[in-house]
Amino acid sequence: VLHTTRPLHTTQQSLAPVPPLPEKGGEVRHGLIPEEFFQFLYPKTGVTGPYMLGTGLLLYLLSKEIYVVNHETVAAASILTVIVYAVKKFGPDVAAFADKLNEEKIATALAMKNEAIQSLETAIKEEKKEQWRLEGRNYLFDAKRNNIAMLLEANYRERLMMVYNEVKKRLDYQVAMQTLKRQKETDHMIQWVEKNVVQSITPQQQKESIAKCILDLKALSKSAHAAV
Amino acid sequence: MNLSFFDQFSSPSILGIPLILISMAFPALLIPSMGNRWVTNRLSTVQLWIINLITKQLMTPLNKEGHKWALVLTSLMIFLLLTNLLGLLPYTFTPTTQLSMNLALAFPLWFATLLTGLRNQPSKSLGHLLPEGTPTPLIPALIMIETTSLLIRPLALGVRLTANLTAGHLLIQLISTATVSMYSTMPAISLLALLTLFLLTILELAVAMIQAYVFVLLLSLYLQENI
């Protein structure tokens, strides 16, 4: 937008920002004649002035045969009819289409801008949320600390338990040894006593005891017979 | 002034100065150039849309090499469209009714496609002279036929455009003359002729646009074969 064609130091150097386009084009009457012409003639000839001028001009050209009516006239009439019909019928549609194209162009650019703004705002919100999350870090550290303390405590108790179990195992062993020893001693004594008693029974005593037992049994059987 | 039927086809000149160049350059003045605005007025928007449409249509079947021809083909299309459509207005001279101009457009462009093909891929572009799947005895005759068809292409392009437009303009002239001359004696026939004229005008509008399109399309087809 550099104004390369300006004469020496007459206008601004830069052509940007350009002034905005006017909303509507120049006013035209009957699609051909600008409105300014009618306004120009209005003070002198009023509303019908330009029309009178037009009609007079046309009739002058026709009557003096400055414009000759020939086959081109008919061809002109037909092509102009077609053109006017086409413009009247499809004009608004084409205008709407052009407007739609422009609207889409602007909308795309606006959408890009809005998207960029949205993404930046989301980023800001996320950042703020992260900063808020940061405030809770003390709780996190306390929880972690507690966790570790519990782990340590559990480990200590475990080891204590192990020590206790080991000591108990050794003591149990000692106790078991002592009991075994005593047991063996009593067993041995009982066996010795029994052996000596059996040895001390002479054959004479054995016969006497057997006879006595038989007599006792007979007596018992007699009393039993009587009971029955 | 009194016109004969062929006055509209004579090259315009004023006081002996030929105006043919001005009449050929005139349609370009009707296209507003893109100013330094991002959002333009309706005319520029529609014009830009049309040019985009034409370029996309022409360039889709071409490979990347062929995209070098985008400017030539699109500007040719716009030129032919405008000259043909402007020629339908009364008392206008249509440059495309002159065989000289159409041949001057067709011959160099066709020749350019041919030379591109022969230079870059000679066997492939010569291979186009024989369609696939022809029975062996027919091959010599077919080669001759295809060569003739190839060499006649510029003539066909030029003459097609000239003939279509000249015929159309002449028909309009004749039927308008019929309408005018029978207006006093047999008004009913005159009215019938006028109706025919309307229909013919619509046909001529279509023909003007179609012929421009056909010209450029055929050129792009020749380009596709050879690029």
Residues of chain A contacting B194 with CB distance shorter than 8 Å: 74, 78
Are A82 and B194 inside 8 Å of each other by CB? no
Supply the pLDDT for residue A20.
Answer: 76
Contact B5, B174 (CB under 8 A): yes
Considering only the beta carbons, identify the residue of A16, A69, A101 that sits closest to B49. A101
Chain B 58-97, residues with CB within 8 Å of chain A CB atoms: 88-91
Per-residue pLDDT tens digits for A69-81: 888 899 999 999 9
Supply the pLDDT for residue B1.
Answer: 56
Query: Would an 8 Å CB–CB cutoff place A71 in contact with chain B?
Result: yes
Q: State how far the Cα of A73 lies from the Cα of A71, in Å rounded to an integer.
A: 5
Give me the residues paired with residue A33 across strands. A29
Q: State how far the Cα of B215 lies from the Cα of B217, in Å rounded to an integer.
A: 6
Average pLDDT taken over every residue of chain A? 90
Contact B69, B226 (CB under 8 A): no
Per-residue pLDDT tens digits for A112-164: 999 999 999 999 999 999 999 998 888 999 999 999 999 999 999 999 999 99
Supply the pLDDT for residue A201.
Answer: 80
Are B42 and A76 inside 8 Å of each other by CB? no
Query: Would an 8 Å CB–CB cutoff place A103 in contact with chain B?
Result: no
Per-residue pLDDT tens digits for A165-188: 999 999 999 999 999 999 999 999
Chain B residue closest in CA terms to A79: B201
Query: Would an 8 Å CB–CB cutoff place B126 in contact with chain A?
Result: no
Chain A residue closest in CA terms to B42: A98
The pair of three-digit structure tokens given for residue B79, joined into one six-digit string: 């030129």
Supply the pLDDT for residue A172.
Answer: 96
Segment among A9-13, A125-129, A200-204 with least mean pLDDT: A9-13
Give me the residues paired with residue A41 across strands. none
Query: Number of CB pairs < 8 Å for A and B?
Result: 80
What is the per-residue burial (b if ≥16 Cβ within 10 Å, else e) of B176-205? bbbbbebbeeeeeebeebbeebbebbeebb
- Please report which confidence band the pLDDT of residue A4 belongs to, taking 50, 70 and 90 as the band edges: confident
Are A79 and B1 inside 8 Å of each other by CB? no
pTM, 2 dp: 0.73
The predicted complex's ipTM stands at 0.85
Give me the residues paired with residue B103 across strands. none
Sequence ranges of the domains in chain B: 20-226
3-state secondary structure of A133: helix
Is the pLDDT score of A21 beyond 80? no
Q: Provide the shortest C-alpha distance from residue A40 to chain B (in Å).
A: 27
Q: State how far the Cα of B11 lies from the Cα of B27, in Å rounded to an integer.
A: 17
Are B88 and A79 inside 8 Å of each other by CB? yes
Supply the pLDDT for residue A215.
Answer: 92
Per-residue pLDDT tens digits for A25-58: 788 888 889 999 999 999 999 999 999 999 999 9
- Cβ neighbours of residue B221 under 8 Å, at least 6 residues apart? none
- Cβ neighbours of residue B1 under 8 Å, at least 6 residues apart? A68
Are B3 and A72 inside 8 Å of each other by CB? yes
Give me the residues paired with residue A34 across strands. A28
- Please report which confidence band the pLDDT of residue A23 belongs to, taking 50, 70 and 90 as the band edges: confident
Q: State how far the Cα of B54 lies from the Cα of B70, in Å rounded to an integer.
A: 10
Q: Provide the shortest C-alpha distance from residue A74 to chain B (in Å).
A: 6
The pair of three-digit structure tokens given for residue B148, joined into one six-digit string: 């003739």
Residues of chain B contacting A82 with CB distance shorter than 8 Å: 198, 201-202, 205
The total of other beta-carbon atoms located within 10 Å of residue A14's CB is 9
* Rg (chain A; Cα; Å): 67
Q: Provide the shortest C-alpha distance from residue B9 to chain A (in Å).
A: 14
- In order along chain B (227 residues), what is the average pLDDT of each group of 10 residues? 74 86 89 81 90 92 90 93 92 91 93 92 88 87 91 93 93 91 90 89 89 88 86
